[in-house]
Amino acid sequence: MKIDVLKAACKGTVVAAGDADFLDAARGGLWNRLVPDRLPDIVVKVVDEDDIIAAVNFAREAGLKVAVRGGGHNWAQPTLRHGGMLIDLQKLTRVISIDVEARRAVIQPIISNRDIQKALNPLGLAFPTGHCPEVKASGYFLSGGMAWNPTVWGSRAESLEAIELVTAAGELIKASETENADYFWAARGAGPGFFGIVTKYYLKLYPLPKAIHGSVYFYRLEDAPAIGTWLGDAAPRIAPSVELSQFIVQAPAELKAAASADNGWLCMVTGSAFEDTPEAARAALRPLEDGPIAPIASTFATPMTFEQLFDASGALWPEGLRSRVEATFSDHSPGEMMKAVLPLVQKAPSPMSVFLFTIFCGPNVPAPQKNMALSMHSKVYGGPWTMWWDAKDDDANADWHRAMTAALRPFNLGYYVGEANTVERPATAVEAFSPEKWQRLCELRDKYDPDRLFFDYFDGFAARG
C-alpha cells in the first residue's frame, strides 16, 4: 500500500500500524475501557467529506475493508476489527444550522447528547436525545436511538428527516424518504452494519417542554418484583409524557444503612414527566404515589432541566469504566424479570453495575413498526449494565453478566443493536431485527456494497491467521 498517497490526499491525520501514535489513534477515546486486542492497519482521522471520499477510494483500491467510528461509545467496540481501515469522524463536531421558526437543524456526527440540548434549549427547542450525556449523535442515530420522552417523541431515528453520506463507491449523496430512500431506511437502525458513512444529520425539532418534573422512589431490594408487577400493570394508564424506569442500584449514602442486609442494593423507580405546566406534570406523575408498598424514601415532581437529567443519568454511567451491556426488549411483566434476576443481584462483584428496565407508558404500547430498519418495539426495555474499574475483576464480572443475561433470555423479544454484545454473541445482531427487516437489510447491503467494502456485523473479529 502506498500510504503516502493517502496522506497527501487527506487534510486530516493518517496513521499506520507501527507509527508512534498508532495505538492511541486506534484505541484512544473509547468509552469502554475493556479494550479488545483487535487493531486496524490504518486509522484516518478525517476533517471533512473530501477526506472521507479519499479514504474510501483508497481503501477500495487497496483491498482494505472499512470500519467507521462515530464516537466510540458502542460497548462491544465494533469499530475495532482485525485489519482494514478505521475512519474516525471525531473532528466533525459542528452544529451547522438551527432554523427556530421551521424547527429544523443540521448537525455533524460528533455532537454529544448534552451539547445538542445545550444548543437548542435556550431557543425554546428540544430534540429526542439519548440519556448518557457524552454519547455522540452518529452511533446513536444509526442504532435507532433510545430517547428521552420516548412514548411522545419516539426513537431518535423517527425525528431524522434526511442524511448526507458517502457510499461504498465514494460518492457523496443525500438520502431521505423521497431521495435514495433505501439508504435512509437502513441508516435508521442498522447500527454498525450500515453500509455508508453519514456526514450530516437533518433533524426535526420540538418545542421544549416547559415543565419537566421528576419523581424518585426507593424500595427494598426484595420488593423489586412486586413493584415491577405493579408498574407493568399501571403503565397503560399512565400518561405517555411520563418516562418510567425501574432500577436495581447501590443505595445513595443516606440509605446505605437501610440496604445493608442486601449488600447495599435496592430498587429505585424514577418517573420524568415532559409537560407544559407544573400542574400537568404533577398530575402525570401522581399515579406513582399509589404504589402497593411504602417506599423507604421518595421525592415527588421536582422541577428539572435537561442539564439536570443528564447529570443524574451520567452519574449512573460514569466514564472510564470497563463495561458489558445487554439491552433487550420484552413484552413480559417487569416483575417477572425482576424475580428472575433477583437471586443473582447480591452476588454482583461490582457496586458500579446497574440493572434497568424502562417501562413504556400510555395505551398505545408497543408502538407499530415504522418504515425503517429499527425493528424492536415493546412494553419494556433494559437489562444489565455491568461496570467495574480493575482488569483483575474482568472474569468475575463477565461471569456475573453472562448469568444475568441467561436469566433474562427466556423473556427476550429482541435486542437493541447499539447496546448489546454483538461481538461475543453474533446472533444478537440478527435478533435486533424482525426477520423481514433483517432480510431487507442483507439485500440492501448486497445491492449497495456488493464488494463488501464496509465491515458488516460479523467480519474482522476473528484473529487473522
The residues pairing with 280 across neighbouring beta strands, listed in sequence order, are none
Integer Cα distance of 59 and 307 in angstroms: 41
Q: What is the mean pLDDT of residues 94-119?
A: 97
- Coil, strand or helix at 164: strand
Cβ–Cβ under 8 Å, residues 366 and 381: no
Mean pLDDT of all residues in 332-360:
96
What secondary structure letter does DSSP report for 172?
E
Cell triple for 5: 498517497
Fold (topology level) of 11-90: 3.30.43
Beta bridge partners of 272: 214, 243
> How far apart, in Å, are the Cα atoms of 61 and each of 177, 183, 197?
32, 23, 18
Mean pLDDT score of the chain, rounded to an integer?
A: 96
Show Cβ contacts of residue 323 under 8 Å, excluding neighbours closer than 6 positions.
Answer: 31, 32, 33, 34, 75, 385, 386, 387
pLDDT above 90 (res 29) = no
DSSP 112-145: BHHHHHHHHGGGTEE----SSTT-BHHHHHHH--
CA 449/CA 176 separation, integer angstroms: 19
At residue 464 the predicted structure's pLDDT band, cuts being 50, 70 and 90, is low
What mean pLDDT comes out for the span 75-93? 96
- For residue 418, give the nearest of 409, 410, 404, 429 by alpha carbon: 429
pLDDT-based confidence at 42, cuts 50/70/90? Answer: very high
Cell of 429: 445482531
pLDDT in the model for residue 414: 96
CATH 3.30.420.40 assigned to 95-207: no
362: burial class by Cβ within 10 Å (0-12, 13-18, 19+)?
middle
pLDDT given for residue 346 in this prediction: 87
In angstroms, the CA 358 to CA 381 distance is: 5
Residue-wise DSSP of 202-216:
EEE-EEPPSEEEEEE
pLDDT in tens, 114-173: 999 999 999 999 999 999 999 999 988 999 888 999 999 998 899 999 999 999 999 999
Q: Are 240 and 151 in contact (CB under 8 A)?
A: yes
Q: How far apart are CA 68 and CA 80, in angstroms?
A: 9
Q: 211-427: which CATH architecture?
A: 3-Layer(aba) Sandwich (3.40)
Count of Cβ atoms closer than 10 Å to residue 11 Cβ:
11
Whether the pLDDT of residue 38 is over 70: the answer is yes
Give the span between the Cα atoms of 200 and 77, in whole angstroms. 23
What strands lie across the sheet with 13-16, from one edge to the other?
A: 13-16, 42-45, 85-88, 66-69
Q: Dig out the grid coordinates for 349 from the structure.
A: 462483584
Give the span between the Cα atoms of 224 and 247, in whole angstroms: 9
Number of H helices, E strands in the chain: 14, 20
Residue 347 CA, chain-centre distance (Å), reads: 27
Q: How far apart are CA 190 and CA 17, in angstroms?
A: 29
Res 139: pLDDT: 85
Residue pLDDT, tens place only, 383-417: 999 999 999 999 999 999 999 999 999 999 999 99
Q: What was the pLDDT predicted at 2?
A: 85
pLDDT tens by residue, 295-332: 999 999 999 999 999 999 999 999 899 999 999 999 99
Domain residue ranges in the chain: 11-90, 95-207, 211-427
Distance CA 441, CA 62 (A): 26
- pLDDT digit string (tens) for 242-251? 999 999 999 9
DSSP H or E stretch at residue 98:
strand 95-99
Summarize pLDDT for 57-80 with one digit per residue, the tens: 999 999 999 999 998 999 899 999
